[in-house]
Amino acid sequence: MRKIIQPATAAWADLVQRPTKNLEELEPGILETFQLVKEQGDNALLQLAEKYDGVQLQSLLATEEEIAAAESKVPQELKEAILQAYSNIQLFHTQQAEPVKQVETMTGVSCWRKSVAIDKVGLYIPGGTAPLFSTLLMLGVPARIAGCKDVILCTPPAKDGSIHPAILYTASLLGVTRIVKAGGAQAVAAMAFGTESVPAVYKIFGPGNQYVTVAKQLVSKAGVAIDLPAGPSEVLVIADESANPAFVAADLLSQAEHGADSQVVLLTTSESVLEKVEQELNVQLEVLPRKDFAAKALENSLGIVLGSKQEMLDFSNLYAPEHLILSVSDFEELMDGITNAGSVFLGHFSPESAGDYASGTNHTLPTNSYARAYSGVSLDSFVKKITFQYITREGLQNIGQTIETMAEAEGLEAHKNAVSIRLKELNRV
């Protein structure tokens, strides 16, 4: 971890830059994949599964037998954990539903807004170095609550053509039955453009590697919506002298282990706290199964000592972290000043892992400073907001002249006439 003591404010803009690669270099190859999928459909997916996943698939779709058999392969303890997480996530997201509120803006003019589910959605669930069945919960639960009619799941197969049992079990729990054995940019292409086995969807959700990230950005240019811009995982921890260095180190490593391109940041006003956390990082890193990933991520990570809690808050808002942990004694005083963050964890006993798995909040969040303008996935991500209005005879008489005056001022005579012709009819009655 790179250590920085009291950096000048002018240097902050450089410090908040992520160590990301030039993803534009990947675009030509991904566009070739898109074209292959458009032209050859399922056959392209089978070819690319052999090329990139090293597997010769007999079928792209998981069979009913495979889905049913998965339940017996998932340990009972894990099933119970998944069910508990499912319950918490469902409860939290159900509360996000908005009742229809009809507003009479003036006598006889009524307006309201209704949430309507997106008919067809695609969920991409990574299945490589870490089979993220937790992400399936995070996406599948709100899709189900919203009432999406068609939910397509794409996830890369293992070398033997199987899908991780926990992913199949979770899909079954959610009622997702169309499960496609496809990963990478080709899976995104299949969901965006459609194949014989994969219906084209209207919006694509889910994290992935750099190829998936760029593929999602490219299909969004082609008119297919995506959940949000997402890249490597990240966490920023603000710690004061009340923080437990072992807790802080564990939180930093929980994100560093995602991959070599992840980034973690520690902000503190105490050099002593930074030194103690660094010592804990070295101890805990040695016993991690994903030590190599975490070690690489730490090379691109920062430990920064600043002059005050306000400076730490200001730096954090500029950085706009995916995950923000306030490991301080007085988080109540700081939390109202947070303006840019994907998800916030308050106090010494709120590990970021809780949000990743089971507390109820969604873990699909904006990274790479996109939290300055984007929210994480929620129930709203799976619906459209459609506005309605009803104007009575009296209402048109009340609002008509306003519309006519504005339309005339803009030189849009047909707009004015759409009102005028009705008012004339009303005046004849």
Running DSSP on this structure, what letter comes out for residue 62?
P
Q: Got the DSSP string for 63-125?
A: PHHHHHHHHHHS-HHHHHHHHHHHHHHHHHHHTTPPPP--EEEETTEEEEEEEEE-SEEEEE-
Which of 323, 348, 352, 363 is catalytic? The answer is 323
Q: Are the C-beta atoms of residues 280 and 288 closer than 8 Å to each other? A: no
428: its two tokens: 């004849």
Residue 282 labelled as part of a binding site: no
Residue 255 labelled as part of a binding site: yes
Which of 234, 311, 322, 352 is catalytic? The answer is 322
Residue 348 labelled as part of a binding site: no
Total Cβ atoms within 10 A of residue 168 = 26
Vertex 225 angle, CA 38 and 193, to 5°: 10
Residue 427 labelled as part of a binding site: no
Residue 363 labelled as part of a binding site: no
Question: Residue 369: exposed, middle, or buried by beta-carbon count in 10 A (0-12, 13-18, 19+)?
Answer: buried
Q: Are the C-beta atoms of residues 103 and 387 closer than 8 Å to each other? A: no
Residue 362 labelled as part of a binding site: no
Give me the half-sphere count of Cα atoms (radius 13 Å) on the Cβ side of residue 404. 14
Question: Is 241 part of the annotated catalytic residue set?
Answer: no
Residue 258 labelled as part of a binding site: yes
**Cα-atom radius of gyration of the chain, to the nearest Å?**
25
Residue 93 labelled as part of a binding site: no
How far apart are alpha carbons 395 and 407 in whole angstroms? 18
Residue 124 labelled as part of a binding site: yes
Question: Is 196 part of the annotated catalytic residue set?
Answer: no
Residue 356 labelled as part of a binding site: yes
As a dihedral over the C-alpha atoms of residue 300, residue 298, residue 289, residue 124, rounded to 10 degrees, the angle is: -40
- 400: Cβ contacts below 8 Å, ≥ 6 apart: 419, 420, 422, 423
Pairing of strands 234-239, 263-268: parallel
Q: Detail the residues annotated as belonging to a binding site.
A: 124, 186, 209, 233, 255, 258, 323, 356, 410, 415
Give catalytic residues, as residue numbers.
322-323
Q: Which residues are annotated as a binding site for substrate?
A: 233, 255, 258, 323, 356, 410, 415
Q: Annotated binding residues for Zn(2+), as ranges?
A: 255, 258, 356, 415
Bind-site residues for NAD(+): 124, 186, 209
